[in-house]
Structure 1
């Protein structure tokens, strides 16, 4: 055989084994299975006119080579970029939790860029009775192939059912139990995060607690409160020694409600806030009242937003992997879009959280709390 030539491989037989040091391509799959790349593409896309025997041979080559479909190339080759909508909450009378929403957008955008998807974002007014119709109309008007729902829309079974009925793929960030049983979701284990944060405070010696809660009905915030209460119950503390007040995730709710907690009969030495914005407001109120933090009062939050590191003292908080959660939610949609028309598996994934200890927490020194702060 002349130099530089190769022995032809009989049709239907795999070529001799050779090492592929680079990432395998569709041409490698075609060569190994002894068919054309068009046939491989038809098999990968569940196309017609391919025998079961040929499909099995192509799939065997895919498995042997570890070939993975390039989703971006698949979408772009079809002449269109699939559209994904990220639905976030808005409340007209309150300042937005800007970092939370922007972090969700960044994570979703990064995933869409990698996967060849087009992202649109929409802020819908929560508790609006027309909210479901508004989101559905947006999906139909923009021809969205998938939707990422964030709280509280991630807890709305009526909205999810309406979207699924229209053939739209859905993934949720921090879904509740009812919605998590319908579609895939990803989040932080909020109950465990509350437990871990309370355990940190208990280890410092705190035995009297306050909690500024989140918006009523917000599942993640309620789970955080439940986790705190579970840790206190395991420490055999009386629930009556926990003063709580209903907030709404804003700076002002922390500022306005801290004095209320400090006037409780069992005056807290540690205050847990449903998020960092609320904790920053509580810290501001403490400064106004002349309360030493953490000497007289420890204050903690959730989310590990940028504000938690720049206030004084910096806030102890729970790092919530917000960008990672929205990134993973988009990946879940991309997986669903590979097999349109098939029911989505309601898989729920947790991404690990961490307690970030900073200078807003310390051992309790109740006598250092000014009497004036209690209103007595």
Structure 2
């Protein structure tokens, strides 16, 4: 039998360090002590490990690449349109700029996932990396990525401080405010809100904006009851019955994304409720499914493709200028798409 070639994981085990540390040593990276460097080099020599020079050449400049880092959850289905739209927007600009797009989807809750992302960037020697929620809000991860020397852009960062990596998104707090004001203008005064995952800070701001709209309309915060979802169709199905049975008896439900709103719409139909006669529904993102269900959903159009396209433009500009770009958050415009799922309060 042919003897198996040693891998970088074998080197990590023998030297007793993390895979990312081995990668830094092999690539001549910073932030590695001399003692660790010697241990890794001794393990490499002992195993006879050889770096794939062809892959290193391609990643090191022969084929400039932009890494798009997406998140997944083993407990739920992915938001496939959101991810596909990010890929499409990034691909279009990559093609124009002579860059290659490489997509990686990682489980956001897995131990060591942040180290794995840094490792992917270091191994690829890419031109830049785009991180999406919730990775875009992990500031320690973003700092580690910036220390590798590549251009880093965050999609929909929930918080931006001076010195952070640049970000691109929409103003989610303003979008939540505008959508809730739209429902208040229709006559609604009692609301339910299906939130997303807590670590997605931009989605949390949608709820914060809704509360601000209540306050400005003179409505108490108790006029809205909120429950925690996970952005999936199933969350909308499961959570809508609890919301409509709550003591405030909401006449309008806002969902943090379209997938949950479609699930809520299904649950309303199953319960014999008329939408929008008995209950109005509104959401965010304006994914294709929002226009295909009946009634079609009133939703906030989030410019997803434009967000990733702009992220690649920032990386391409940094590549040309030899700098990482300014630490600013760019807000792209959103619009409310008014459809048949919202009407004045009914019965």
Indicate the TM-score class for this superposition, using the shorter chain for normalisation: 0.7 to 0.9
Structure-2 separation of matches of 1:297 and 1:352: 28
> Counterpart in 2 of 1:356?
337
Structure 1 residues without counterparts, runs of 5 or longer: 1-77, 368-376
CA RMSD across the alignment: 1.4
Structure 2 partner of 1:86: 68
Deviations 1:160-190 (A, max 9, x none): 1111111111011111324674111110000
Alpha-carbon distance, 1:226 to partner: 0.5
User: Which whole-Å CA distance do the structure 2 matches of 1:236 and 1:293 have between them?
Assistant: 26
Does the residue aligned with 1:302 lie in a helix, a strand or coil?
strand
Corresponding residue SS for 2:95: helix
| Counterpart Cα distance in 1 of 2:129 and 2:166 | 11
Partner residue of 1:95?
77
CA distance in 2, matches of 1:153, 1:347: 17
CA contact 2:314–2:325 (8 Å) conserved in 1: no
Match of 2:262 among 267, 280, 286: 280
Change (3 A) 1:110 1:292: same
CA contact (8 A) 1:90 1:96 kept: yes
Equivalent residue, structure 1, for 2:205? 223
Pairwise CA distance, 1:80: 2.9
Distance 1:256 1:114 in 2: 44
Residue 327 of structure 2: SS of its match in structure 1?
A: coil
Provide closer, same or farther for how the CA distance between residues 201 and 174 of structure 1 changes in structure 2, counting only shifts above 3 A. Answer: same
- Cα deviation digits, residues 136-166 of structure 1 (max 9, x gap): 1111222212001111111111111111111
* TM-score of the aligned structures, taking structure 2 as reference length: 0.81
Instruction: Report 1:238-253 matches (<5 A).
Output: 238-253=220-235
In the alignment of these two chains, the number of paired residues is 288
Q: Matched residues in 2 for 1:343 and 1:303: separation?
A: 29
Asked if residue 306 in structure 1 is aligned to residue 268 in structure 2, the reply is no
2:315 matched to 1:333? yes
Equivalent residues of 1:156, 1:179 under 8 A apart: no
Instruction: Tell me the equivalent position of 2:275.
Output: 293
Which stretches in structure 2 are left out of the alignment for 5+ residues? 1-59
Distance of 1:182 and 1:301 partners within structure 2 = 30
Matched residue, 1:233: 215
Q: Is the Cα–Cα contact under 8 Å of residues 87 and 121 in structure 1 kept in the other structure?
A: yes
Of the three residues 129, 132, 145, the one matched with 2:114 is: 132
Deviations 1:288-341 (A, max 9, x none): 00000001100011000011000110000000000000000000011111133x
Q: Are 2:86 and 1:104 aligned?
A: yes
In structure 2, the partner of 1:269 is 251
Output the CA distance in 2 between the equivalents of 1:192 and 1:343.
Answer: 28
Distance 1:142 1:166 in 2: 11
Q: Is the 8 A contact 2:284 2:302 kept in 1?
A: yes
- Does the 8 A contact of 1:157 with 1:179 survive in 2? no
Deviations 1:51-110 (A, max 9, x none): xxxxxxxxxxxxxxxxxxxxxxxxxxx983321100011111100100000000000000
CA change 1:343–1:120 in 2 (3 A) is closer
Mapped partners of 1:150, 1:343: distance in 2: 18
**SS state of the match for residue 301, structure 1?**
strand
Q: Counterpart in 1 of 2:327?
A: 346
Distance 1:179 1:128 in 2: 27
Corresponding residue of 2:133: 151
Q: Which residue of 1 aligns with 2:36?
A: none
The separation in 2 between residues aligned to 1:234 and 1:339, in whole angstroms, is 45
Bigger Rg over Cα: 1
Q: 1:223 to 1:162 in 2, by over 3 A?
A: same
